[in-house]
């Protein structure tokens, strides 16, 4: 039946030339509409929307053999665009977090008391509180990426768990776990520095 030929996967197409022709006939006419979708996805920032549209069509072109003829091409393109936008957004926010740490001012560290908060006023806590902001900033940069991002967003940028979860594509429980572990890792780094500098004498530290 001709209908069966129409609906079979594009992987059965004769060659790449057929795919190119079908892509031009079917996907290219949808570019104007897809651009409007891209504008909405990227908060009406024209340059970002153009980048999103270009990346979407490049991915769609490479994957067009997976598209099943006779199904909704517009929906297929929109799914590719949505996934591409999420990836672009996540990368942008990660870059922003890294820049935020690099550009962080001393007063931001000084006011973020919970950044190096200890369970009690131990010798370690007192030593850490007296450290220069530059030392704290350097210790932050040494955290593993997954912990550094969460510590920055939660303590410096003051985002909620829900906002951080949305930015990083993780759930709120994972945000809490990474924040706890990140702060613990940060305290350990600062305690090591304090001992090296003679600010803190060797001894057991609190977890």
Mind listing the pLDDT tens digit for each residue in 136-185? 778 888 888 888 888 878 877 778 888 888 777 788 999 999 998 988 88
The helix/strand/coil state of 71 is coil
Mean of the pLDDT values across residues 53-82? 92
What is the DSSP secondary structure assignment for residue 130, as one 8-state letter? T
> What per-residue confidence (pLDDT) applies to 183?
85
> What per-residue confidence (pLDDT) applies to 148?
84
Most confident of 83-97, 131-145, 190-204: 131-145
Phi-psi region of 17 (alpha: psi -120 to 50; beta: other; left: phi over 0): alpha
Taking the whole predicted model, whether its pTM rises above 0.75 is answered as: no
Helices (H), the chain: 2-7, 16-26, 31-41, 46-62, 73-103, 106-111, 123-129, 133-141, 145-151, 161-168, 172-196
Q: Count the alpha carbons within 13 Å of 23 in the hemisphere toward its beta carbon.
A: 20
Q: CA end-to-end span of the chain, whole Å? A: 71
The C-alpha atoms of residue 59 and residue 64 are separated, in whole angstroms, by 8
> What per-residue confidence (pLDDT) applies to 51?
92
Closest CA to 158 of 193, 111, 194: 111
Mind listing the pLDDT tens digit for each residue in 117-140? 655 545 555 666 667 777 777 888
Q: How long a stretch of residues is the chain?
A: 207
Kindly tell me if the per-residue pLDDT of 5 is higher than 50: no
Domains within the chain, CATH numbers bracketed = 14-92 (1.10.1740.10), 104-196 (1.10.10.10)
Closest CA to 89 of 41, 44, 55, 159: 41
The C-alpha atoms of residue 137 and residue 140 are separated, in whole angstroms, by 5
CA angle 7, 79, 88 (to 5 degrees): 145
Average pLDDT over the chain, rounded to whole? 76
Report the share of the chain in percent with pLDDT over 70.
67
The alpha carbon of 115 is separated from its chain's Cα centroid by a whole number of angstroms, namely 21
């Amino acid at each position: 039946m001709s209908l069966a030929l129409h609906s079979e996967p594009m992987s059965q197409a004769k060659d790449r030339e057929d795919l190119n022709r079908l892509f031009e006939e079917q996907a290219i006419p949808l570019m104007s509409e897809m651009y409007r979708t891209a504008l909405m996805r990227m908060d009406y920032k024209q340059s970002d929307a153009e980048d999103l549209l270009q990346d979407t069509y490049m991915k769609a072109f490479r994957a067009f053999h997976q598209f099943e003829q006779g199904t909704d091409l517009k929906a297929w393109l929109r799914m590719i665009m949505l996934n591409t936008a999420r990836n672009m957004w996540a990368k942008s926010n990660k870059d922003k977090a890294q820049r935020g740490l690099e550009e962080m001012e001393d007063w931001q560290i000084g006011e973020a008391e919970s950044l190096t908060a200890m369970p009690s006023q131990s010798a370690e806590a007192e030593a850490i509180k007296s450290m220069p902001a530059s030392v704290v900033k350097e210790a932050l940069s040494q955290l593993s990426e997954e912990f550094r991002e969460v510590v920055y967003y939660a303590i410096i940028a003051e985002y909620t768990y829900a906002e951080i979860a949305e930015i990083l594509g993780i759930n709120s429980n994972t945000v809490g776990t990474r924040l706890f572990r990140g702060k613990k890792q940060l305290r350990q780094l600062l305690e090591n520095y304090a001992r090296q500098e003679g600010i803190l004498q060797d001894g057991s530290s609190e977890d």
